[in-house]
Structure 1
Amino acid sequence: MHTVTDIATLRESLAEARRQGRRIGLVPTMGNLHDGHLALVAAARERADYVVASIFVNPLQFGAGEDIASYPRTLDEDRARLARAGCDLLFAPGHETLYPQGTTAQTTVQVPEVSEGLCGANRPGHFSGVATVVSMLFNLFQPDLACFGSKDFQQLAVIRKLVADLHFPVEVVGVPIVRAEDGLALSSRNGYLSAEQRARAPRLYATLCQVRDALERGTAREEALRQGLARLAEDGFKPDYLELRRYDDLAAVSDDTRMAVLLGAAHLGPARLIDNLAVTLPH
């Protein structure tokens, strides 16, 4: 696997791959890789014959008081894991490479509606930061496809709308959530949890499963969600939200909605955990 840190070398490497007629699959990450990230690489490997990844802790998607300074950076280990997974090229730029003038006056991208509410309400500016850096990476890599995890369901919806609205010729591949044996969705931020908190963390997923089952049995939406929030609080979480949205566009559900998604976010100690489950609502 070849590692590059500057844009000129990146473009030269990608141009050579295109001359060879290779289909390019991109996996954007912030590093500190786990098996969920490697599932993205595997998905790209299945669909493309030149797999490229990026590692960049993007300052634009961190708000005031968030964890950018302490966000884990494990480049050497990440590089080794990507190489073993079959990645062909890693782009690992510094902040000054992507934001040479700093971030204060940086041109940004806004994705309306789908970025509002849920994590967008709790993390102002987060999805603008995501949309901006993803647009930048799409411009730099010009991939045929890009793989994103479904754990960040709202982020995936934002990127799908970004691609549609700005006519990026990129296939967006949503890859299913990878979970630990106890059900906890894999996340770099799980490393912030103490042993006791890590043992309690799977209750977020268990609660989502219970609420999903209640909804699919016909329990009223408001009551099922109220019970879920109460259960999270009893288990020591500080919920940000527990909401049911339409699956395809994250709009509000209505009486004729059948495919929905249940989304939850909650703080447990120093970690903010998110998860989601598809729900088939009864007729």
Structure 2
Amino acid sequence: MEIFRDKKTLIDYVERQKEMGKKIGFAPTMGALHEGHLSLYKIAAAENDLVISSIFVNPTQFNNPDDLTKYPRDTERDIALLKNTGIVDALYLPEVADLYPDGLKSKSYDFDGLENEMEGKFRPGHFDGVGTVVEELLRQVKPNNAYFGEKDYQQLAIIEKLVDQLHLPVKIHGAPIYREANGLAMSSRNERLTPVQRDAAKVIHDTLLKVNDWFRVITVPEINKRVKDIFDDQRGMTLEYFEIADEKTLKQTDFFYKDKKYRAFIVVNVGTVRLIDNLHLD
């Protein structure tokens, strides 16, 4: 596995691969790699000649400085994991200056309102930070295909919008949420949970499955009430928000229309750890 620690060597490598006609698959990450990330690489490897990953903890997408400080970082462990799997051909470890040549400041984007829904209500400027670093990574890596997990479904929708608006020559792919044995969506943040919390947090996915059972059977307000009641009964957990939204516009709905597709979104704070999840309603 090749490792590149600056923009110039990465771009030179990409140009050589392109000259040889290689099709490139790319999966950017913030490190603390787990099986969910590996599932992205496996999909990419099956659809491309070459798989590139990146690790960069992006400061501009953290609203809470505490969250940025606590974000798990162990690059050497991540490198060893990638080498052992043998799936990733190249790893990009950029410095801040490689992605923010004009200083650590986000660009300003208009994602047709997608950025104002759900996470956007609670994390102002978050998606400008995401857009800035993803745009720069895509311009440097120049992949044919890029892969993102559906756990961050709103982020995935915004990256698709970014690529469309900027006419970037890359196809964006969403990969299914990779879950732990108890159903908890796999996340780097899960490592901050105690064993008891980790086991209890399965209620998040269990609740989404119940919502899918209730979907189109009872009203949205009644579903919202039932979800609130479930988490009111959970010790050490706080429901930050639960929404059922149109999959295309991400706008919250209070009524089910037959011609639209819906997804349930939930954010729960388990102790001090903020966990997100979602589920397509069928």
The separation in 1 between residues aligned to 2:275 and 2:201, in whole angstroms, is 8
In structure 1, runs of 5+ residues without a counterpart are none
Structure 1 residues 149-206: Cα deviation after superposition (integer angstroms, max 9, x where no partner) = 0001111111111111111111111000000110000000011111221111111111
- Shift in Å, 1:235: 1.3
The separation in 2 between residues aligned to 1:72 and 1:144, in whole angstroms, is 30
1:265 aligned residue (257, 264, 267): 267
45-54 or 94-103, which deviates more: 94-103
Aligned to 1:228: 227
CA contact (8 A) 1:183 1:202 kept: yes
The separation in 2 between residues aligned to 1:59 and 1:179, in whole angstroms, is 26
Is 1:169 matched with 2:165? no
The separation in 2 between residues aligned to 1:261 and 1:14, in whole angstroms, is 37
Aligned amino acid, residue 95 of structure 1: V
With normalisation by structure 2, the TM-score equals 0.94
CA contact (8 A) 1:211 1:225 kept: no
Aligned to 1:93: 94
186-195 or 108-117, which deviates more: 108-117
- Structure 1 SS opposite 2:73: coil
Is 1:109 matched with 2:109? yes
With normalisation by structure 1, the TM-score equals 0.94
The separation in 2 between residues aligned to 1:17 and 1:75, in whole angstroms, is 25
Superposition RMSD in Å? 1.5
The separation in 2 between residues aligned to 1:110 and 1:103, in whole angstroms, is 20
Q: Residues 73-222 of structure 1 correspond to what in structure 2 (within 5 A)?
A: 73-83=73-83, 84-104=85-105, 106-216=106-216, 218-222=217-221
Aligned to 2:246: 246
- Structure 2 SS opposite 1:54: strand
CA contact (8 A) 2:264 2:278 kept: yes
Percent identical among aligned pairs is 37
The separation in 2 between residues aligned to 1:198 and 1:64, in whole angstroms, is 22
Aligned amino acid, residue 49 of structure 2: D
Structure 1 residues 72-126: Cα deviation after superposition (integer angstroms, max 9, x where no partner) = 111112112223241111000122332244314x534342411112111111111
- Structure 2 SS opposite 1:69: helix
Aligned amino acid, residue 176 of structure 1: P
- Shift in Å, 1:255: 4.1
Structure 1 100/169 Cα, relative in aligned 2: closer, same or farther at 3 Å?
closer
Structure 1 64/226 Cα, relative in aligned 2: closer, same or farther at 3 Å?
same
The separation in 2 between residues aligned to 1:239 and 1:91, in whole angstroms, is 36
Aligned amino acid, residue 218 of structure 2: T
- Shift in Å, 1:46: 1.1
Aligned to 1:23: 23
The separation in 1 between residues aligned to 2:210 and 2:265, in whole angstroms, is 13
- Structure 2 SS opposite 1:151: helix
In structure 2, runs of 5+ residues without a counterpart are none
